[in-house]
């Protein structure tokens, strides 16, 4: 027991010592930000990393993260190759590029955004709107709720801030690209994102987390505040290196009649844990959570989602799909909380897993907590291999055995990707799926949109 | 000059492919020539559907004896997809639902798999659309079918119509229709059967597997077989089907006992 406590202290010390270095280098922050960071690191010092004895962490052992002596990541001038690969180019209204957690102005594209829209990094935002940030940063993502949020909060410095004022609509996506480069020593970055949409505002934000090779740790926190009637289409695409650790928390608050759509995809990372919590804090708020996990090898991905119905008359929809190959393991814990008084809640949750090998494992746990009596909540969960009846049907029409299996896999995942409105994201996912599953060229669905269009003309 | 039969089944035995699997086909003999329509009738459990599935290459059944030659080659050597590419089409008794794969996309892939096998150029979307247009009219199909996932949420009748529609598009050399009439109302039966009958040509053949005679009023068979307990018990013309319609299958059992 004593040995264990010692280990835990050593684990924490890595980050506490990072903080003392960081604290000096971030001396020019306003006092409120200093105390916010302090509250984060204090909380982390108090609780440390979670263990699998805790229910929320039962299926994900973060000891490999805790044990690793991560240094704070630095910008090393690298990453342009990854930028070339993942940049949205002209398809983004604005593209903020962070390398190893540091905003890199010369790689970013700060487009001319309309009427008071802000998309920039935290230091710039502090200059122009410090008071607004003081009320918003750290308000939704609670340091008490999750040790990783606490840790991230301790290291807030270079985050992304997006603010869309009242009734302003932005058509093109704003792209937040977080690049991690290979370094000699394992490094950690704590990306922080704050998205604020005022009443009636609407926009599209894509977060991409990408890496080349090597072991590193990304610990991201995103806070999203949607005031009444605001609408956000939000994509989070995780393509970290195959050895990386990725932990993220996304906390959303929806006002009345607000609409939030999330498309969260996990392709990379050796160990990923995503917490996605949406609170419907106004009537007729509408939340949609779509998730795709497409992993193999010894990758592990744990998605914890929460649909918190705090007010009446809110619909929510959730669909998570896992494709697990090799010895990959997936976890889905989907909680629907209907608070007392949240009558006429209409919530539908579905989790499906496709197991491509006998060694792949899926744990799917829906959790309904309902304190109102006039609600409609449904959930369904299924997991299994490719259906051989379906494969035979395809083969009987001339499609080869491997191609049939690939097609079934592709179709399973495409059910999620075709819902994604941002073409760059959709294409990137579909290309990845085609590549991973070696689909023969004549079976690739890369002209699906034009094909569908032609068929519609019938 | 002797004409090579399109399909020649000799003393075919097959069982369920599982340890201790039940034997279902117990010495089937059947020869089908190009230009012919054959019907295999029989009670439930007689083995008639199994025969169709074995011919299509379903791995749930294991062939334990006998031979099948198709267009002069050993059919049993070919995988299910190779048989399909060689022109064998099975209209399923229970068409499978495949969520996420649109009918049009799947059908284009299927048509092109066959074309590739024949060394023909792939059809582009535009040519494919032209090909399916007429066939959709033939089967009275709503164009929206094409954008829906294969059979997903289709009614029983819609699924069967979709099978024959696919058969029309694929234009097979040997069509196996497995209980296509089951679950169809009179109007749907007429549409489906007339659609199938219009595909008769001198260079292809249709094998209709059915319990009832009513489908055969639209696809009039040249030869009718009656199967019982894994074997073809008797062979005749369409009068045999009419006899089943009026007298059921009891007399078949009686005759089998006399023969046995």
Q: Are A220 and A160 in contact (CB under 8 A)?
A: no
Query: What is residue B106's predicted lDDT score, i.e. its pLDDT?
Result: 87
Query: Which 8-state DSSP code applies to residue B47?
Result: S
Q: Which of B112, B125, B129 sits opposite A442 (nearest CB)?
A: B112
Is A455–B100 a contact, with Cβ atoms under 8 angstroms apart? no
Query: What is residue B121's predicted lDDT score, i.e. its pLDDT?
Result: 92
List chain A residues with CB under 8 Å of B58.
392
Output the domain CATH number for residue B52. 3.40.50.300
pLDDT band per the 50, 70, 90 thresholds, residue A231: very high
Q: Which of B84, B116, B136 sits opposite A396 (nearest CB)?
A: B84
Which residues contact residue A231 at a Cβ distance below 8 angstroms, ignoring those fewer than 6 apart? A197, A201, A202, A203, A258, A259, A260
DSSP A308-346: EE-SSS-EEEEEEEEEE-TT-EEEEEEEEEE-TT-TT-E
Name the domain boundary from A282, A308, A335: A282
| Same domain? A395 vs A258 | no
**Within a domain: A67:** yes
**Within a domain: B1:** no
Q: Averaging pLDDT over each range in A108-117, A414-423, B220-229, which range is the top one?
A: B220-229
pLDDT(A449) > 60? no
Which residues contact residue B134 at a Cβ distance below 8 angstroms, ignoring those fewer than 6 apart? none
Query: Which 8-state DSSP code applies to residue A156?
Result: -
Query: What is residue B144's predicted lDDT score, i.e. its pLDDT?
Result: 85
Q: Which of A11-15, B161-165, B190-194 has the lowest mean pLDDT?
A: A11-15
Query: What is residue B208's predicted lDDT score, i.e. its pLDDT?
Result: 97
List chain B residues with CB under 8 Å of A414.
100
Name the domain boundary from A257, A282, A307: A282
Q: Averaged over B226-239, what is the pLDDT? A: 95
Interface of A with B (CB under 8 A): 387, 389-390, 392-401, 404, 407-408, 411-412, 414-415, 442-443, 445, 447-448, 450-452, 454-458
Q: Averaged over B168-186, what is the pLDDT? A: 93
| Backbone dihedral angles phi then psi of residue B175, each to the nearest 5 degrees | -100, 130
- Parallel, antiparallel or unpaired: strands A187-189 and A174-180: unpaired
The tally of domains found in chain B comes to 1
List chain B residues with CB under 8 Å of A442.
109, 112-113, 116, 122
Query: What is residue B150's predicted lDDT score, i.e. its pLDDT?
Result: 92
Is B110–A458 a contact, with Cβ atoms under 8 angstroms apart? no
Alpha-carbon distance values, A412 to A384, A389, A395, A438 (Å): 12, 15, 17, 16
pLDDT by residue (tens digit) across B1-26?
Answer: 567 999 999 999 999 999 999 999 99
Q: Are B202 and B172 in contact (CB under 8 A)?
A: no
Query: What is residue A115's predicted lDDT score, i.e. its pLDDT?
Result: 78
Query: What is residue B48's predicted lDDT score, i.e. its pLDDT?
Result: 97
pLDDT(A302) > 60? yes
Radius of gyration of chain A (CA): 22
pLDDT band per the 50, 70, 90 thresholds, residue A294: very high
Which residues contact residue B54 at a Cβ distance below 8 angstroms, ignoring those fewer than 6 apart? B12, B14, B25, B61, B63
pLDDT(A1) > 70? no
Question: Roughly what angle, to the nearest 10 degrees, separates helices B103-117 and A448-456?
Answer: 110
Is B80–A395 a contact, with Cβ atoms under 8 angstroms apart? yes
Helix (H) or strand (E) holding A226: strand A216-226
pLDDT by residue (tens digit) across B31-56?
Answer: 999 999 999 999 999 999 999 999 99
List chain A residues with CB under 8 Å of B117.
398
Average pLDDT over chain B, rounded to whole?
92
Prediction ipTM score: 0.95
The tally of domains found in chain A comes to 2
End-to-end CA distance of chain B: 37
Query: What is residue A183's predicted lDDT score, i.e. its pLDDT?
Result: 81
List chain A residues with CB under 8 Å of B56.
396
Q: Are A295 and A330 in contact (CB under 8 A)?
A: yes
For residues B16 and B47, what is the distance between their CA atoms, to the nearest angstrom?
11
Query: Which 8-state DSSP code applies to residue A198?
Result: -
**Within a domain: B173:** yes
Query: What is residue A4's predicted lDDT score, i.e. its pLDDT?
Result: 46
**Within a domain: A432:** yes
Q: Which of A24-38, A180-194, A199-213 has the lowest mean pLDDT?
A: A24-38
Helix (H) or strand (E) holding B226: strand B223-228
Q: Which of B96, B116, B117 sits opposite A390 (nearest CB)?
A: B96
Which residues contact residue A200 at a Cβ distance below 8 angstroms, ignoring those fewer than 6 apart? A166, A167, A228, A229, A230
Query: What is residue A27's predicted lDDT score, i.e. its pLDDT?
Result: 62
pLDDT by residue (tens digit) across A108-150?
Answer: 998 778 878 999 999 999 998 999 999 999 999 999 999 999 9
Average pLDDT over chain A, rounded to whole?
91
- A453: nearest CA in chain B? B147
Give the CB-side neighbour count of residue A91, counting CA atoms within 13 A: 13
**Prediction pTM value:** 0.84
Query: What is residue A2's predicted lDDT score, i.e. its pLDDT?
Result: 41
Is B155 at the interface with chain A, CB within 8 A? no
Is A452–B102 a contact, with Cβ atoms under 8 angstroms apart? yes
Q: Averaged over A1-13, what is the pLDDT? A: 55
Q: Are B37 and B6 in contact (CB under 8 A)?
A: no
Q: Can you count the helices (H) and strands (E) in chain A?
A: 10, 21
Higher pLDDT, B175 or A414: B175
CB-based burial of residue A452 (10 Å sphere; 0-12 exposed, 13-18 middle, 19+ buried)?
middle
- Parallel, antiparallel or unpaired: strands A231-239 and A259-266: parallel
Q: Averaged over B53-66, what is the pLDDT? A: 96
Alpha-carbon distance values, B18 to A431, B44, B55, B75, B179 (Å): 39, 21, 19, 22, 25
**Within a domain: A320:** no
Q: Which range of residues forms the domain containing residue A428?
A: 388-458
Share of chain A above pLDDT 90, in %: 77
Q: Averaged over A425-434, what is the pLDDT? A: 86
Q: Averaged over B68-97, what is the pLDDT? A: 96
pLDDT band per the 50, 70, 90 thresholds, residue A441: low
- For B:162-221, CB contacts with A below 8 A are 166, 170
Other beta carbons within 10 angstroms of residue A442's beta carbon come to 14
| Same domain? A217 vs A74 | yes
Q: Which of A389, A392, A411 sits opposite B80 (nearest CB)?
A: A392
Question: Smallest Cα–Cα separation from A204: which of A91, A82, A89?
Answer: A91
Helix (H) or strand (E) holding A202: strand A202-211
Name the domain boundary from A259, A282, A305: A282
pLDDT(B224) > 70? yes
Q: Are B225 and B41 in contact (CB under 8 A)?
A: yes
List chain B residues with CB under 8 Å of A458.
129, 132-133, 136, 143, 146
**Within a domain: A412:** yes
Query: What is residue A3's predicted lDDT score, i.e. its pLDDT?
Result: 41
Query: Which 8-state DSSP code applies to residue B72?
Result: T
Q: Averaged over A440-453, what is the pLDDT? A: 58
Is B122–A450 a contact, with Cβ atoms under 8 angstroms apart? no
**Within a domain: A419:** yes
Q: Which of A110-119, A135-144, A306-315, A372-381 has the lowest mean pLDDT?
A: A110-119
For residues B36 and B205, what is the distance between their CA atoms, to the nearest angstrom?
5
Size of interface A-B (CB pairs under 8 A): 105
For residues A142 and B141, what is the distance between their CA atoms, to the nearest angstrom?
56
Query: What is residue B122's predicted lDDT score, i.e. its pLDDT?
Result: 86
pLDDT by residue (tens digit) across A50-76?
Answer: 999 999 999 999 999 999 999 999 898
pLDDT band per the 50, 70, 90 thresholds, residue B260: low
Question: Smallest Cα–Cα separation from A88: which of A106, A108, A105?
Answer: A108
Query: What is residue B27's predicted lDDT score, i.e. its pLDDT?
Result: 97
Q: Which range of residues forms the domain containing residue B71?
A: 7-259
pLDDT band per the 50, 70, 90 thresholds, residue A5: very low
**Within a domain: B123:** yes
For residues B229 and B26, what is the distance between their CA atoms, to the nearest angstrom?
7
| Same domain? A278 vs A399 | no
pLDDT(A356) > 90? yes
Q: Which of B85, B96, B143 sits opposite A458 (nearest CB)?
A: B143
Is B57–A445 a contact, with Cβ atoms under 8 angstroms apart? no
pLDDT by residue (tens digit) across A139-198?
Answer: 999 999 999 999 999 999 989 999 999 999 999 999 999 999 988 889 999 999 999 999
Q: Are A127 and A180 in contact (CB under 8 A)?
A: no
For residues A416 and A431, what is the distance between their CA atoms, to the nearest angstrom?
14
**Within a domain: A361:** no
Share of chain B above pLDDT 90, in %: 67
pLDDT(B159) > 60? yes
Q: Which of A7-21, A185-199, B176-190 has the lowest mean pLDDT?
A: A7-21
């Amino acid at each position: 027991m004593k040995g264990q406590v010692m280990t835990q202290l050593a684990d924490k010390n890595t980050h506490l010592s990072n903080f003392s270095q960081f604290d000096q280098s971030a001396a020019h922050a306003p006092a409120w930000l200093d105390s916010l960071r302090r509250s984060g690191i204090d909380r982390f010092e108090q609780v440390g990393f979670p263990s699998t004895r805790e229910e929320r962490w039962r299926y994900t052992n973060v000891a490999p993260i805790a044990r690793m002596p991560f240094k704070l990541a630095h910008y090393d001038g690298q990453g342009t190759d990854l930028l070339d690969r993942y940049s949205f180019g002209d398809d983004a209204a604005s593209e903020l590029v962070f390398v190893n957690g540091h905003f890199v102005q010369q790689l970013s594209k700060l487009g001319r955004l309309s009427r008071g829209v802000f998309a920039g990094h935290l230091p710039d935002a502090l200059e122009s709107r410090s008071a607004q940030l003081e009320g918003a940063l750290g308000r939704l993502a609670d340091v008490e709720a999750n040790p990783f949020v606490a840790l991230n909060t301790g290291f807030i410095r270079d985050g992304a801030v997006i603010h869309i004022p009242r009734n302003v609509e932005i058509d093109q996506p704003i792209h937040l690209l977080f690049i991690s480069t290979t370094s000699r020593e394992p490094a950690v970055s704590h990306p922080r994102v704050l998205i604020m949409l005022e009443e009636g505002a609407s926009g599209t934000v894509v977060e991409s987390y990408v890496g080349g090779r090597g072991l590193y740790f990304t610990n991201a926190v995103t806070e999203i505040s949607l005031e009444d009637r605001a609408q956000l289409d939000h994509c989070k695409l995780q393509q970290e290196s195959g050895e990386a650790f990725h932990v993220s928390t996304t906390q959303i608050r929806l006002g009345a009649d607000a609409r939030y759509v999330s498309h969260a995809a996990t392709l990379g990372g050796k160990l990923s844990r995503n917490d996605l919590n949406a609170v419907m804090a106004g009537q007729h708020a509408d939340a949609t959570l779509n998730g795709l996990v497409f992993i193999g090898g010894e990758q592990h991905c744990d998605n914890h989602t929460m649909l918190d119905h705090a007010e009446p008359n809110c619909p929510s929809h959730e669909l998570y799909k896992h494709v697990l190959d090799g010895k990959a393991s997936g976890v889905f814990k989907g909680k629907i909380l209907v608070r007392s008084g949240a009558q006429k809640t209409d919530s539908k949750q579905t989790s499906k897993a496709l197991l491509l090998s006998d060694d792949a494992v899926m744990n799917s746990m829906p959790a309904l907590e309902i304190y109102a009596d006039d609600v409609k909540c449904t959930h369904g969960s299924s997991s299994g291999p490719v259906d051989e009846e379906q494969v035979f049907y395809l083969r009987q029409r001339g499609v080869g055995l491997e191609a049939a299996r690939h097609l079934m896999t592709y179709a399973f995942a495409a059910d999620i990707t075709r819902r994604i409105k941002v073409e760059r994201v959709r294409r990137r996912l579909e290309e990845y799926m085609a590549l991973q599953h070696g689909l023969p060229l004549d079976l690739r669905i890369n002209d699906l949109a034009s094909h569908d269009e032609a068929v519609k003309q019938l | 000059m002797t004409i090579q039969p399109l399909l020649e089944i000799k003393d075919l035995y097959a069982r369920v492919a599982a340890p201790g699997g039940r034997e279902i086909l117990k010495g089937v003999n059947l020869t089908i020539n190009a230009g012919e329509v054959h019907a295999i009738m029989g009670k439930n459990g007689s083995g008639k559907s199994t025969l169709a599935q074995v011919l299509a290459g379903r791995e749930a059944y294991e062939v334990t004896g006998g031979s099948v030659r198709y267009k002069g080659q050993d059919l049993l050597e070919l995988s299910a997809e190779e048989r399909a590419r060689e022109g064998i089409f099975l209209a399923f008794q229970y068409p499978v639902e495949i969520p996420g794969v649109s009918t049009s996309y799947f059908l284009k892939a299927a048509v092109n798999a066959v074309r590739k096998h024949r060394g023909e150029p792939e059809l582009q979307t535009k040519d494919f659309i032209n090909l399916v247009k007429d066939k959709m009219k033939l089967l009275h199909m709503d164009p929206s079918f094409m954008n829906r996932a294969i059979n997903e949420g289709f009614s029983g009748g819609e699924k069967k119509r979709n099978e024959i529609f696919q058969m029309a598009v694929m234009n097979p050399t040997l069509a196996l229709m497995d209980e296509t009439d089951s679950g169809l109302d009179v109007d749907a039966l007429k549409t489906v059967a007339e659609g199938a009958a219009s595909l008769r040509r001198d260079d292809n053949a249709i094998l209709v597997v059915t319990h009832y005679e009513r489908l055969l009023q639209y696809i009039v068979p040249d030869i009718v077989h009656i199967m019982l307990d894994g074997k073809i018990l008797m062979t005749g013309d369409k009068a045999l089907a009419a006899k089943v319609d009026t007298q059921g299958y009891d007399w078949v059992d009686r005759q089998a006992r006399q023969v046995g």
